[in-house]
Amino acid sequence: MTEQQTQPEIPQSVIIPRSEHSISRAGISDNALKVLYRLKNAGYQAYLVGGGVRDLSLGREPKDFDVATDARPEDVKALFRNCRLIGRRFRLAHVHFGREIIEVATFRALHDGETSDNGDVHIEDGRVLRDNVYGTVEEDALRRDFTINSLYYNIADFSIVDFADGMADLRAGVLRLIGDPEARLREDAVRMLRAVRFAAKLGFRIHPETGDRIPEMASLLELIPQARLFDEVLKLFMSGHGVGSFELLRRYGLFRYLFPETDAVLETDGHDTWIRFISWALENTDNRVSEGKPVTPAFLFAALLWPAVRVRSGRYADERGLTPVQALQEAVSDVVDAQLSHVALPKRFSIPMREIFLLQPRLERHGGRRARRLLGHPRFRAAYDFLLLRARVEDAEQAVADTWTRLQESAESDDAGGRAPAATEGAARRPRGRRRRRSGGAPGQES
């Protein structure tokens, strides 16, 4: 099914010369510059785009650098030995420099459903399913999501081309979708999550014309593949602005499409405890990110699902006469099964997450020789950190948590031949047995 799509009006593009903006080549990675220059010297247009230009203009360090060009993917590949073409929805060139990847995208156009006789663009219920029609730089700019993400730094003369009045919004701290907000959200509902993520990260406000549409369109997230939502959830909660993202997700009615069962608990009586619980967990994660420490999705998802697990296991214990441990096991299975139909969680994270849950009663029944053995469990540290978090909202006894703190300290000073015990806070410490390797070599972080 195809339907007519609202084309944004083409605004006048504005060229901001080098003397009137703050982006200097010193802020751009050498590898990104190499790519830009090689494209330009081969006769192509080459621009730095997206988050790189936005973050540099705000005096922030970009996460990565994206390049847009009129060179076709095959042309890009021919220019760079270290280039791979990737992508199913649209083809992109990845130029590899060790661990840094510069993404090079050919200008694309967003076309009318009506003009897609060639089958390149397919629009269903207003959603863009394939959009690999090449276009001009203007078209490329106007198919982007927010005005502030639509600034192009031109390597030919170091100017910034502003196609959608993005510079004014950048200065005013405003996130605004390009074109008709409703149509743009219908094309791709993930833009609602991106709005929240950028608002939390940059401290921007979402323009009301964009923001007012979000609660009424939030249910469109149900159409988004679970794996894509998993990626977005990680970006929302593991990029150092999780607390702000969580608040905004709830305010705009988005959280319930990501974690419906947890959201239902948060919306009922006595929800304060669980809001605080999740906020503490996210604050902990934000702090670790800002200190450059590793964080793991297993712990994050454990925290986001625990309120649901807790309420369900209480109900199972009452209604089915199960022991607390049996009730917990069944609640964990059912909550995880239900959750996976909304947001994917790869096994390498769901397995340790279940362990964190199921270790809770074992930690609470601590004592004697068994306690020592638990200290060596690969998930002990995460489960212990989780117990500390629970104790903070009185979901577990502080005295029990303290016992484990002391046990570890004495075990660690035994191990280390009397060295001072390590600090014990933190969300996702690496397992004790591996810690010594750190001094010797690769940090082996999870992301």
Enumerate the active-site residues.
Answer: 64, 66, 145
Closest distance between ligand ATP and the C-beta of residue 322, in Å?
A: 44
- For 367-392, letters b (16+ CB in 10 Å) and e give eeeebeebbebebbbbbbbbbbbbbb
For residue 336, which amino acid is it? V
Binding partner of 144, given Mg ion, ligand ATP, none, CB within 5-8 angstroms per partner class = ligand ATP
Contact call for residue 73 and ligand ATP (CB under 6 A): no
Stretch that binds Mg ion, among 59-67, 341-349, 364-372, 394-402 (CB under 5 A): 59-67
Contact call for residue 63 and ligand ATP (CB under 6 A): yes
From 27, 50, 166, 244, residue interacting with ligand ATP (rule: CB under 6 A): 50
Contact call for residue 27 and Mg ion (CB under 5 A): no
Instruction: Decide whether 237 or 277 has the Cβ nearer to Mg ion.
Output: 237
**DSSP 8-state symbol, 150:** -
| Category of 413 on φ-ψ map: left (φ > 0), alpha (ψ -120 to 50) or beta | alpha
Contact call for residue 140 and ligand ATP (CB under 6 A): no
Stretch that binds ligand ATP, among 187-195, 360-368, 401-409, 412-420 (CB under 6 A): 187-195
Tokens representing 158? 């170091």
Closest distance between ligand ATP and the C-beta of residue 146, in Å?
A: 7
Tokens representing 346? 């790869």
Contact indicator for 202, 58 with CB cutoff of 8 Å: yes
Instruction: Decide whether 66 or 162 has the Cβ nearer to Mg ion.
Output: 66
Q: Any residues with CB less than 8 A from the CB of 277 and at least 6 apart, and which?
A: 303, 306, 307, 389, 390, 392, 393, 395
From 27, 32, 51, 107, residue interacting with Mg ion (rule: CB under 5 A): 51
Angle at 282 between CA 426 and CA 189, to 5 degrees: 145
Binding residues for ligand ATP restricted to 157-186, rule: CB under 6 A: none
Instruction: Decide whether 49 or 345 has the Cβ nearer to ligand ATP.
Output: 49
- Which of 191, 170, 171 has its CA nearest to residue 181? 191
- Residues in contact with ligand ATP, counted by CB under 6 A, come to a total of 12
Instruction: Decide whether 140 or 385 has the Cβ nearer to Mg ion.
Output: 140
